[in-house]
Structure 1
């Protein structure tokens, strides 16, 4: 309950104080791709679908696949900047505020990532709200290694304390972790 309260407080503050940045990035994204906001159905808590909101980093006609299966040529130059700085994640503060996500939790996957869903289900990971960041993200573990990711997510959830919650957030803001791998062309 305390973590949910912190999620609401921090996401609300982030949206209020980050509003000018959100507007600027949206405008630049409008010129970059013509469609700066990316929405996609993802697997939520208890396998309930929800719509994830992010800044678009790839061309609008890119196939909806996990990042490690997408081509690097689909990433726009501005999208590369957003990914490197993790600013593409800022709109997910809306998902946190709405209760679909937490700031800290397992990254939400796509419904076509059957192996990852099965591994997470087996370990009870899907009982938790998905998150913007967590233990896997700060250790460069992404969805290209479903078993390792599910194990890491389960370990994080089992050991999650308030101190870990703040640690993962601060590590992410400080630039720890490189994000999802992209297939080089």
Structure 2
């Protein structure tokens, strides 16, 4: 994938179009972004944006942006919360009824508004609008050799995993869907996934 001159040109054009669309969306969403930023800022102490290292195309790390949905120091609290539930910390760990999530944060997650700052990542060409889930380094090191294929394309704000269950999926199911996406990737497929994402977000399916 992306080895011929035409394929490389197509990738550059796709990336440029994604960045242009993301920039237009950012400008259109300025009022909404300001409102959400104020809600996050005044709902709990801490920064407005959450920053975390993720792994992008070809294994290149980048900083992802989201609206902060948890209390400051949430990552340090994870081990205690997991141990209290009788488990151990793992790369794909989720905590039931996570008390670290703020009230505003729960709303932002349910509506996917917390992901809007990722449009900045698309403008910076770290991500595309559609693609595999951008994962943290600890998740990537657990990959089976077949999972590395997902790093051949840029990660996305949405993707096949987003419209197929999101948080309702197991880690293995999400990886399998990402692999299917890479195999079937096309401009038409991406467009279909974008339209399906709108419906999934409005219905709040698998968002928590």
Which of 104, 121, 145 lines up with 1:95 in the alignment?
A: 121
Corresponding residue number in structure 1 for 2:6: none
Deviations 1:86-144 (A, max 9, x none): 110100000001010011001111111256x5137645111111111100111014596
Tell me how many residue pairs correspond in the alignment: 179
- Cα distance in structure 1, aligned partners of 2:149 and 2:156: 15
Q: Please state whether the residue corresponding to 1:50 is helix, strand or coil.
A: strand
Q: Matched residues in 2 for 1:143 and 1:38: separation?
A: 23
Identify which range, 9-18 or 119-128, moves more after superposition. 119-128
CA distance in 2, matches of 1:3, 1:169: 15
Residue 139 (structure 1) aligned with residue 164 (structure 2): yes
Q: Secondary structure at the match of 1:158?
A: helix
Following superposition, which runs of at least 4 residues in structure 1 exceed 6 angstroms of deviation? 64-67
Distance (Å, rounded) in 2 between the aligned partners of 1:100 and 1:173: 22
In the superposition, relative to structure 1, how do residues 129 and 24 fare at CA in structure 2: closer, same or farther (>3 Å)?
A: same
The answer to whether the aligner puts 1:107 opposite 2:133 as a matched pair is yes
Do structure 1's residue 85 and structure 2's residue 96 form an aligned pair?
no
Partner in structure 2 of residue 156 of structure 1: 181
| Structure 2: runs of 5+ lacking an equivalent | 1-10, 79-90
- CA separation of 1:121/1:55 partners in 2, compared to 1, >3 Å: closer, same or farther? farther
TM-score by length of 1: 0.86
Greater Rg over alpha carbons, structure: 2
Structure 1: which 5+ residue stretches go unaligned?
none
Pick closer, same or farther for the CA change 1:121–1:94 going to 2, 3 Å: farther
Q: CA deviation at 1:3?
A: 2.6
TM-score by length of structure 2 reads 0.77
Indicate conservation of the 8 Å contact 1:37/1:56, yes or no: yes
Partner of 2:25: 14
Contact 2:149 2:182 in 1 (8 A): no
Residue 52 of structure 1, CA deviation: 0.3
Residue 74 (str. 1) matches residue 100 (str. 2): yes
Q: Provide closer, same or farther for how the CA distance between residues 106 and 20 of structure 1 changes in structure 2, counting only shifts above 3 A.
A: same
**1:8-87 superposed matches below 5 A:** 8-34=19-45, 35-63=47-75, 68-70=93-95, 72-87=98-113
